[in-house]
Structure 1
Amino acid sequence: MTDILDDLAWRGLIAQSTDLDALRASLATGPITAYCGFDPTAPSLHVGNLVPLFTLARIQQAGHRAIGLVGGATGLIGDPGGRSTERALNPAEVVAEWVAKIRVQVERFLDLSDEARGVMVSNLDWTAELSAIDFLRDVGKHFPVNRMLAREVVAARLAGEGLSYTEFSYQLLQSNDYLELHRRFGCTLQLGGSDQWGNITAGVDFIRRVEGAHVHALTVPLITKADGTKFGKTAGGAVWLNPEMTSPYAFYQFWLNSDDRDIVKFLKIFSFRGREEIEALEKSVAERPFAREAQRALAEEFTTLLHGADELVKVQAASKALFGQGSLEDLDAATLGSALAEVPKAAVPALGAPFVDLLAESGLVESKSAARRAVKEGGAYLNNVKITDEAYVPEDKDLLRGRFLVLRRGKKSIGGVEVG
């Protein structure tokens, strides 16, 4: 069971730890219980949230018990970390709705078939009935204010626009979560992002003060991309787990389009493949980068894990069909619509414009004259059919699912038109 630390180190997933040797010794005595928390600050987690969640899942797969915590209470408050201004508080009913959605997402990554293997909790369960007096006496008494003020994030906020007592108290709530899970489930390890180090170690110290017990903290690094852009972001915004916010097609394409410089790191973090298989894919990146085997492997595995095998089949069929390697007519409206949402697209109220006008309006070419040249040179396609008549006007029979036209210039430039 201690091999899990070696595996996490190889995957680059250990940023900070209270004491790795002590944690290794604890792991050697038998199964431990570890937890990671997720606050409902949106209706969905995004891929950046998954670094600690995948780490928790790996620890569980190594034979330990996992606790997934969704912050029904802390989500009502908000962590000041990473923000320069006060967080807007969401209504309780909105937070409750988000808790339910995020809980389902977390459950997808953990084995909850037996309580001895894993459990899901909300910190509202033990926080809702906690009175202000009890909170101040039983929790607040153990937190030196001078130490809390020394936290980098708190100092930064105090030097700027300031910090409310509400957000200042967040650390106490998270620390109390660790204590409750230690008492209820024997939890001795908390995981989180490296930006949570101050909150997590405060919980370690809180348990030592109250229970006299020694527990552990482990953080994972914040992921960066080789090109300097923020991980998990695209031109359209964050990459969410909710299919209504990021379609399965867009999710698949995000991983498929990963930079060669990033893909091996992504495989280590977001794939459950073993070391040998990942090293073989790393070799492929170095020797046959054009094949994109590593990107395809991660896109297929991750899309299946999150959205299911049936959705993977649909998005792969859409990817092939858009480039003339499959039937566009076989794609359902949702898959086709989500695929075209990722390419240059024009929206028109009705058909009637010539094909060359639509090519220009979609952004596939810079002008109508360029569109006419593309047709004349034999490089313009409508629904994968070559258009040779510059005056051609698409008709209702050309519409896919009654709404869409797929445009292509050459082999690789795809665009679309949505009617209505």
Structure 2
Amino acid sequence: MDTNVFDTLKERGYVYQLTHEEEIKKILNSSTPVTFYLGIDPTADSLHIGHFFALMMFRYLQDAGHKGILVIGGATALIGDPSGKSDMRKMLTKEQVAHNVEEVKKLASRFIKIDGDNPAIILSNAEWINPYSYIDFMRDIGIHFNVNTMLAADAYSKRLEEGGLTFLEMGYMLMQSYDFVHLNKEYGCTLQIGGSDQWGNIVSGTNLGRKLNFANNDERDIMFGLTCPLLMTREGKKMGKTESGTLWVARDKTTVFDFYQYFYNVNDDDTEMLLRLFTRVPLDEIIQLCKEDIRGAKRLMAYEITKLVHGKEEADKVLKTITEIFDKNKIASDMPNFDIDKKLIESGISINDLLFMCEFVGSKSEGRRLIKQGGISLNGDKIEDVDFVVGVGDIQDGCLILKRGKKNYLKVVVK
């Protein structure tokens, strides 16, 4: 047993909100295993960066010797969590949810141990919610929820402001709260973990457990809640959003190359945070590397996160591809350079405008002609679409490599 796992989590930036800080620290740092759970709703057939942040915390607790349960919301996904939403989620069919449950199970196994020593238990809450009749559920569980209190919670107050809160969504908190109570009763689960957007639901679960224990004269252990912060950039933007949408774990939704590039191209100021959260590199080494070699730190961070999510083989393939791009045709290190403001790339710029701006073509008409003839390449890839837009995902090691014809190269340095 690792008797310092709580301190490790706090030091590396995982700990955000706690229902009982001292008690949680005591049980997690003890030599007695604690049973904990994390819930994920399969509202899509993949996971995104926010999910694997919480799954990393799950793995830390597993590695420390604690017993983990992953609950995939086969029932709750049919309702939809209103937390953080200004409008009602799109309702999924039962068939879609069933498909998503299986896909999420496969992807989650990349992060947590599902076999070998101390394997996680993976459950769907449809197992215990679906058989519960509506009348019995409302009599047993609904009676312990005060509507005024629920409406004051962020999950509902924001939706209420929009004037679109439905009775269907009101049931979500009851169902998730009951998950915790069920797991406590059947598996001795005493701790729920999750992202900070789940704080209201987690607290309601601990409160429901307390009320039921009191009503039944039951002296079960106190139920605790612990959240990690939402992943935000230093600029206050939600991390994991790209020009094409969400950064997914599934390779058919986000290629491994694009996944690596996303992290390599994050702001320098976010590098240390990501190294703390998604690698096991010692903190003193992280701090020193970020201070002395930020580009090296970003390469390490992007590689390690890609390896974590997609495996070493895929991560190595990305590095090989990048190396080939920059070594292709033995491009000289002293090739002509042109500096460009990163803001222009962040907002997206057409390939032809970029060629003309960098004076790599004499006119835009020449640029269009060369593109259509297949005479222009970007980072080793031939560009044949005049409307192709160059974005931050195309930046390689802080620059863009343009090629005209067979021998003309230009290194566009993005600053």
Structure 1 length as normaliser, TM-score? Answer: 0.78
CA distance in 2, matches of 1:369, 1:218: 55
Given the alignment of the two structures, is residue 23 of structure 1 paired with residue 28 of structure 2, yes or no?
no
2:282 is aligned with 1:282: no
- Deviation, structure 1 residue 244: 0.8
Q: Which amino acid aligns with 1:298?
A: M
Alignment equivalent of 2:299, drawn from 296, 300, 316: 296
Partner of 1:319: 322
C-alpha separation in 1, matches of 2:317 and 2:355: 28
**Which of 133, 143, 149 is the matching residue for 1:147?**
149
Question: In the alignment, which residue of structure 1 is the partner of 2:398?
Answer: none
Counterpart in 2 of 1:257?
265
8 Å CA contact 1:66–1:110 kept in 2: the answer is no
Deviation at 1:76, TM superposition (A): 0.6
Contact 1:71 1:123 in 2 (8 A): yes
Displacement after TM superposition at 1:115 (Å): 8.4
The equivalent of 2:335 in structure 1 is none
Is 1:305 aligned with 2:315?
no
Tell me, in whole angstroms, the C-alpha distance in 1 between the residues paired with 2:137 and 2:117.
29
Shift, 1:176, TM fit? 0.8
Report the AA paired with residue 47 of structure 1. Answer: I
Letter in structure 2 aligned against 1:281: I
SS in 2 for 1:37: strand
Name which of 226, 238, 243 aligns with 1:230. 238
For residues 15-414 of structure 1, the aligned pairs below 5 Å read 15-27=16-28, 28=30, 30-114=32-116, 116-211=118-213, 212=218, 213=220, 214-273=222-281, 275=282, 278-289=283-294, 292-325=295-328, 363-366=353-356, 370-372=360-362, 407-408=402-403, 409-412=409-412
Once residues 99 and 372 of structure 2 are traced to their aligned partners in structure 1, the CA distance between those partners, rounded to angstroms, is 50
Structure 2 CA distance for aligned equivalents of residues 180 and 47 of structure 1:
28
**In the TM superposition, what whole-angstrom CA distance separates every residue of 1:159-199 from its partner, at most 9, and x where no partner exists?**
33131111011001001111111122211110111121110
Contact 1:323–1:412 at 8 Å: present in 2 too?
no
Q: State the shift of 1:200 in Å.
A: 0.3
Question: Structure 1: which amino acid aligns with 2:171?
Answer: S
Q: CA deviation at 1:325?
A: 4.8
TM (norm. structure 2) is 0.79
Change (3 A) 1:326 1:199: farther
Residues 367-409 of structure 1, C-alpha deviations (whole Å, 9 max, x = no match): 79742499xxxxx9xxxxxxxxx999559xxxx9999899534
- 8 A Cα contact 2:371 2:383, kept in partner: no
- Other-structure match for 1:332: none
Question: Quick check: 2:276–2:286 contact (8 Å CA) kept in 1?
Answer: no
Residue 58 of structure 1, CA deviation: 0.7
Aligned to 1:371, the other structure's residue is in SS state coil
For 2:358 and 2:4, the matched residues in 1 are separated by 62
Per the TM alignment, residue 38 of structure 1 is displaced from its structure 2 partner at its CA by: 0.9
Map Cα deviations across residues 247-267 of structure 1 (whole Å, 9 max, x no partner): 000111112222221111111
Q: Report the Cα distance in structure 1 between the residues aligned to 2:18 and 2:304, rounded to whole angstroms.
A: 30
Bigger Cα displacement from structure 2, 113-122 vs 17-26: 113-122
Q: CA separation in 2, counterparts of 1:250 and 1:61? A: 30
Secondary structure of 1:113 counterpart = coil
The alignment's C-alpha RMSD in Å is 3.3
Task: Write the letter of the residue equivalent to 1:173.
Answer: M
**1:80 counterpart SS class:** coil
Partner of 1:34, secondary structure, is: strand
> SS at 1:410's partner residue?
strand
The alignment partner of 1:365 has SS state of helix
Q: What SS does structure 1 have at the residue aligned with 2:14?
A: coil
What are the ranges of 5 or more consecutive residues in structure 1 without an aligned counterpart? 329-341, 347-359, 375-379, 381-389, 415-420
| Separation of aligned partners in 2, 1:266 and 1:309 | 18
Structure 2: tracts of 5 or more residues without a match: 332-344, 386-400, 404-408
In the other structure, the counterpart of 1:4 is 5
Letter in 2 for 1:322: I
Contact 2:402 2:410 in 1 (8 A): no
